[in-house]
């Protein structure tokens, strides 16, 4: 941002409270001369480049370098003023919860628990190509692919992607924020088709 500072070129006395200007009107009347126009000093204030937050795709890729498996939930959150992503990864046996810095991708927290959810275990196992070939079933798309499918429908920033199932249909619930507009999109976890779209506008 550029700031223009006007410095009058007149006789003055520098005080602690600022600049106290001498009265020049009398001098002008006596000499018949006019005071020069104020000089303009241009001061340019440099601004630091703001750090860019990692995209959903970037942070998912970083998480999968730490833990192998299937990303089933990603959520952008804030704790004590620090923005981070909460990521859940399943590998068919264990459930991993990671917390990554939203800007650097640094792993802030990592937990590992036995996955006792039959749905999550079967979903993670469904990405095993050999197992699917034996069963003749179609593997689930990744959370990243679901996010891309949702972004092809609406624009904005992906805030959360969560794997879910309803009435026998497995899908990803993708939340996208676009300014004051919030979108919730359900993406079929098997073929990436859009099942449902809801839009809410903040008043």
Q: Where are the domains of the chain?
A: 2-44, 56-201
Nearest to 56 by CA among 142, 125, 137: 142
pLDDT(139) > 50? yes
* Widest distance between CA atoms in the chain: 106
Average pLDDT over residues 156-170: 91
Q: Which of 31-35, 39-43, 84-88, 173-177 is the least confident region?
A: 39-43
3-state secondary structure 133-191: HHHCCCCCCCHHHHHHHHHCCCCCEEEEEEEEEECCEEEEEEEEEECCEEEEEEEECCC
The HSE-up count of residue 19 (CA atoms within 13 Å, CB side) is: 10
Per the model's pLDDT, the better-predicted residue between 10 and 140 turns out to be 140
Distance of alpha carbon 76 from alpha carbon 54, whole angstroms = 10
What tens digit of pLDDT does each residue of 112-128 get?
998 876 665 566 656 55
Reading phi first (left if > 0) and then psi (alpha if -120 to 50, else beta), residue 132 is in alpha
The SS3 assignment for 80 reads coil
Q: Could you say which DSSP state residue 16 is in?
A: T
What tens digit of pLDDT does each residue of 28-76 get?
445 455 544 443 333 333 322 235 889 888 999 999 999 999 899 999 9
Which CATH number does 56-201 carry? Answer: 3.10.450.40
Are residues 89 and 71 in contact, defined by beta-carbon separation less than 8 angstroms? yes
Tokens of 166: 């309803």
Distance of alpha carbon 50 from alpha carbon 178, whole angstroms = 20
Distance of alpha carbon 58 from alpha carbon 177, whole angstroms = 18
Q: What is the pLDDT confidence band of residue 4, given thresholds at 50, 70 and 90?
A: very low
């Amino acid at each position: 941002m550029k700031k223009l500072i006007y410095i009058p070129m007149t006789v003055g006395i520098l005080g602690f409270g600022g600049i106290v200007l001498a009265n020049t009107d009398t001098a002008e009347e006596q000499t018949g001369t006019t005071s020069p126009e104020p000089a303009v000093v241009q001061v340019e204030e440099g601004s630091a480049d703001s750090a860019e937050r990692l995209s959903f795709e970037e942070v998912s890729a970083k998480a999968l370098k730490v833990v192998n498996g299937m990303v089933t939930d990603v959520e952008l959150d804030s704790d004590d003023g620090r923005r981070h992503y909460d990521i859940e990864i399943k590998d068919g046996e264990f459930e991993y919860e990671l917390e990554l810095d939203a800007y650097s991708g640094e792993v802030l927290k990592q937990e590992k628990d036995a996955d006792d959810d039959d749905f999550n275990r079967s979903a993670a196992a469904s990405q095993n190509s050999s197992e699917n070939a034996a069963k003749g079933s179609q593997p689930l798309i990744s959370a990243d692919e679901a996010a891309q499918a949702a972004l092809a429908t609406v624009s904005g920033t992906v805030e959360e992607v969560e794997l879910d199932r309803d009435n026998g249909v497995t899908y990803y619930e993708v939340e996208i924020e676009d300014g004051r507009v919030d979108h919730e999109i359900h993406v079929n976890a098997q073929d990436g088709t859009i099942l449902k779209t809801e839009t809410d506008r903040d008043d």
